[in-house]
Chains A and B, each alone.
Chain A
Amino acid sequence: MIRLLSGNEAVARGAWEAGVAVASAYPPTPSTEILENFARFPNVYAEWAPNEKVAVDVAIGAAYAGKRALAVMKHVGVNVAMDSFMYASMTGMEAGLVIVSADDPAMHSSQNEQDNRNLAKFARIPCLEPTDSQEAKDLTIAAFGISERFDTPVMLRLTTRICHSTTAVELGERVEPTPDNCSEPKKFPRNPAKYVMVPGNAIRRHPVIEQRIRDVAKIAETFPSNRIEMNDTRLGIISAGVAYQYAKDVFPQASFLRLGMSWPLPEPLIRTFAASVEKLIVIEELDPFIEEAVRLMGIPVEGKSIFPLVGEFDPYIVRESAIQAGLLPETARQPVVEVEVGELPSRPPVLCPGCPHRSAFYILNKLKVPVNGDIGCYTLGLIPPLNAIHTCGCMGAGIGVAHGAAKAGSPEKHVAVIGDSTFFHTGIPALLNVVYNQSPVVTIIMDNRVTGMTGHQQNPGTGITLQGKDTVEIEIERLVRALGVRHVKTVEAFKMDEIETTLKEYLKLEEPSVLITREPCALLPEARKRWIPLEVLSEQCNGCTLCFRIGCPAILKSDELDAHFQRPKACIDPTLCTGCEVCAQICPRQAITFRPEEHALEVSQ
């Protein structure tokens, strides 16, 4: 049966067909849907782990125990998991282990565009790269075969464009684990020489993994996804991933060597191809990974001298680059009419109407304190008019950065802002450090009861697992107290006065403190039921614009001018307003209604 599947759906399907028993991930844009889809198949276990390192350890444990296992993360998630990724390469496993790295050329939703093929090479493990959804499924299955044949983890490297493109896939059946390929839990291996990486054992494993990657290179010669497509021999193109598709559109006449395995490279195959074409180029997104390896073979080749190093490609970029380099004639250019469309209104990401993060950011901006932020919806607190995030580097960074600045003698008190899911991810050890080494950092944990930005995934605070089972709900306040923080308060996120009073009190302290602002994300189904739009009382409003300073998309300038100041009065879009009352609390003229008494905001328990 042929179905149209996204790359993410195809990887999930491939993992299921390959008989994967255990999968673990932290919700990672652009590959979140892999585990969401995999979790719905029968006879599988799938979980959200608190972070990527834990996810990789879980997958390694399952593979040690003899079951095929999958760990999924975005490119920067591999950084978090790197320590585990490296020892898995050293030990190998009892059953197949595949680690999905979803890279993000153009940084659609990331802080960098690192090329993780480098990390596969660094770890001496094979790297497979699909060019569409069919190959995403096929290579997922192939990766488990390679993993078991060579006793190595395998990286399946996707990019955002592969994850989010939909192409046709031929569906297959699951190969259910049998006693032969370990359906019954095998006795857990007692093999310390292989699985206990103390120096004496590790030093014996290192030559093993160096030989292993040389052995994989031998099968790369005949790997079905590495193949030569001979055509006009004046130009030969080596390509991998989605870049292959763009190259095929732009150079329909050229000869191709497409590489479904981008590490290790099939050197004899590359030499054969290079010898059969007049000019050899590499078309690959991001780093000159294949290009440099080919050049090290002593083969003349061009790549990044023609095509961009930065960002993602599309057919237009590939064609223009080729024309500028003289690979294609000027006549190859598509006719384009240049139209001056003028300034178009931007639609930047903003905190949604009713977002429980808005209130604290408004107060932080008012207090003019330095704020070390983190990664999640609340990073949007940086956007004007809130202007209340001053650093943000990666998951879990904010608390440590605030502590370091405090220890460096920063003259102001520092506030660290982190969401519930990110606190579970990597915030806990950083807060432990603030307590252990005592700095007066004020940490705000914005607990919106869900992993928000990636699309409402469960986390250890929600009391529900990825596969919908009820579980222990971690209480953040008790956890924070257990870490040794003595000044801790949980406040409802829409109670502006209480947040401001608490922050002012905590900023005077000379020891660590934590403020938890708690309120479910306004887009959660339960929260949506409580939406009630507020109104501006036109006769009370004098157009002072204070309510615009909370940056709420529901508050608009009306056409009506205040008689005295000739300023536009505010009005509220009833289709957007949720009735969070943040604007009503800051209006100095009581010109914005509160919710009716019977619908008063409830404590979010």
Chain B
Amino acid sequence: MKKPLNFILAGVGGQGTILASDVLVNVGLAAGYQSKQAEVHGMSQRGGSVTSHVRWGETVYSPLVGRGDADVLLAFEKAEALRSLRHLRPGGLAVINMEALLPVTVTSGGQPYPPDDHIQACFNQVSKAVYLDGAKIADELGNPRIANVVLLGALSALLESWQFTPMEVNVETWLGVIRERVPPKYIELNQQAFHAGREAALLQASNQT
């Protein structure tokens, strides 16, 4: 991997964005890369926008990914996906969880929330996006809080099928890092969620092409 691989993770506080980026940066380290991560959030408590930058490479300098320089956008929420679109390079991979978390500016402030066809039209101008219902998959597994791991599974499969990562970043690397970060009684659930995400992503990607 000559040029670093740049990720942007975007979500809303409470969705597990930070945990997902912690897994991602450690997967990079476990695969033998230089790996850096930067969290970008202001005075957000619950419900604020959260963005995290992750970079893997032989040599990585900046912890931040510049505008138009992300190879991969992993979005946990639809409107946040659109907010981070300017980071994605043309032809980059976007994995979007089609969940809507309405801020108070929409629910009582009268601001519009972007409709699905608008989101898809915007992404179509830049790249091919893969749309997933991570919340539904997580619910089927019996725990709505596991959606972030579902999305990591989806990301791992798509990185392979798009040939963004070499072979050493395999499923076991991902699961090893995840296992180190969850309590023992949740390991099985996390593994199921990861694999469910992989299957859903590959199915979705083949349907969309």
- Residues in chain A within 8 A of chain B (CB atoms): 2, 4, 108-109, 132, 161, 164-168, 242, 244-246, 248-249, 314-317, 319, 334-337, 339-350, 352, 377, 453, 523, 548, 551, 553, 555-557, 573
Contact = CB atoms under 8 A, between A and B. Distances in A.
A315 B69 contact: yes
Nearest to A244: B61
B49 to A, nearest CB: 5
Interface string B90-134: 100000000000111111100111100010001001100000000
A4 B104 contact: no
Interface of B: 12, 22, 25-26, 29, 34-49, 61-69, 79, 82-83, 85-86, 89-90, 102-108, 111-114, 118, 122, 125-126
Contacts of B25: 4, 166
Instruction: Name the 8 nearest CB pairs between A and B, nearest first.
Output: A316-B66, A315-B66, A336-B68, A165-B63, A248-B61, A316-B67, A166-B37, A245-B61
B63 A339 contact: no
Most buried by A among B46, B66, B90: B66
A356 B82 CA distance: 34
Contacts of A346: 103, 105, 111
Given A132-B36, A315-B64, 8 more contacts: A4-B29, A4-B37, A161-B64, A242-B62, A334-B89, A342-B118, A345-B114, A352-B46
Contacts of A108: 41-43
Given A4-B25, A164-B39, A557-B107, A345 B66 contact: no
Most buried by B among A132, A316, A377: A316
A349 B44 contact: yes
A335 B35 contact: no
Contacts of A523: 45-46
Contacts of A556: 107-108
Contacts of A249: 61-62, 66
Contacts of B46: 352, 523
Nearest to B126: A337
A208 to B, nearest CB: 40
A246 B64 contact: yes
Contacts of A317: 66
Contacts of B42: 108-109, 349
B108 A314 contact: no
A346 B113 CA distance: 10
Grouping DSSP codes into helix (H, G, I), strand (E, B) and loop, the A interface class, with mixed when no group exceeds half, is loop
B61 A314 contact: no
A60 to B, nearest CB: 32
A214 B14 CA distance: 51
27 contacts: A4-B29, A4-B35, A4-B37, A108-B41, A132-B63, A161-B63, A164-B40, A165-B36, A165-B39, A166-B63, A245-B62, A314-B64, A314-B66, A315-B65, A316-B66, A317-B66, A334-B67, A336-B67, A339-B122, A340-B122, A341-B122, A344-B79, A345-B79, A345-B103, A345-B106, A349-B43, A352-B45
A344 B43 contact: no
Contacts of A2: 29
B114 A342 contact: yes
Nearest to B68: A336
Most buried by B among A4, A352, A453: A4
B111 A345 contact: yes
B47 A347 contact: yes
B82 A341 contact: yes
Contacts of A242: 62-63
Contacts of B63: 132, 161, 165-167, 242, 245
A347 B103 contact: yes
A346 B79 CA distance: 10
A485 B108 CA distance: 41
Contact of B34 (A109, A164, A168, A342): A168
B112 A343 contact: yes
A553 B107 CA distance: 8
Given A245-B62, A347-B12, A316 B125 contact: no
B90 A335 contact: yes
Nearest to A552: B104
Contacts of B38: 161, 164-166
B45 A349 contact: yes
Contacts of B68: 316, 334-336
A343 B108 CA distance: 16
A314 B64 CA distance: 6
Nearest to B111: A345
A300 B165 CA distance: 45
Contacts of B48: 347, 349
Most buried by B among A161, A346, A551, A573: A346
